[in-house]
């Protein structure tokens, strides 16, 4: 199985395609990350990257689970989670 591209390889590829310095491309990713965190923490709880997907803050209810070693029933508490939903355009481009 092929290894996924590292951040430095992605930055280098984008810098070459866009004709910009690598430092500027790396700064873009850092700012995109900061913006995504800010938006997900906000009231909407969502951040959309067009044609790629959206990060959505969700609430997972409390539920009963099992300890795999003993088989004993345990209570798993409720918590907030972050989900990433792939956009239809991305699915169509990759899977078709």
Which pair of tokens denotes residue 13? Answer: 């590829």
Share of the chain above pLDDT 90, in %: 93
SS3 76: strand
Q: Write the pLDDT tens digit of every residue in 7-43.
A: 999 999 999 999 999 999 999 999 999 999 999 999 8
pTM: 0.79
Q: Which pLDDT band, with edges at 50, 70 and 90, does 44 fall under?
A: confident
Pairing between β-strand 73-76 and β-strand 63-66 as defined by DSSP bridges: antiparallel
List the structure tokens of 63. 């539920």
Query: Quick one: DSSP state of residue 87?
Result: -
Quote the pLDDT of residue 43. 87
User: Which pLDDT score is estimated for 74?
Assistant: 95
The answer, yes or no, to whether residue 48 has pLDDT greater than 90, is yes
- Give the tokens for residue 33: 């990350």
């Amino acid at each position: 199985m092929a290894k996924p591209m590292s951040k430095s390889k992605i930055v280098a590829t984008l810098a070459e395609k866009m004709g910009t310095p690598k430092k500027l491309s790396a700064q873009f990713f850092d700012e995109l990350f900061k913006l995504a965190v800010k938006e997900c923490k906000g009231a909407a709880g969502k951040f959309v990257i067009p044609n790629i997907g959206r990060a959505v803050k969700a609430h997972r209810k409390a539920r009963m689970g099992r300890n795999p070693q003993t088989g004993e029933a345990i209570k798993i508490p409720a918590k907030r989670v972050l989900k990433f939903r792939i956009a239809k355009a991305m699915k169509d481009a990759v899977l078709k």
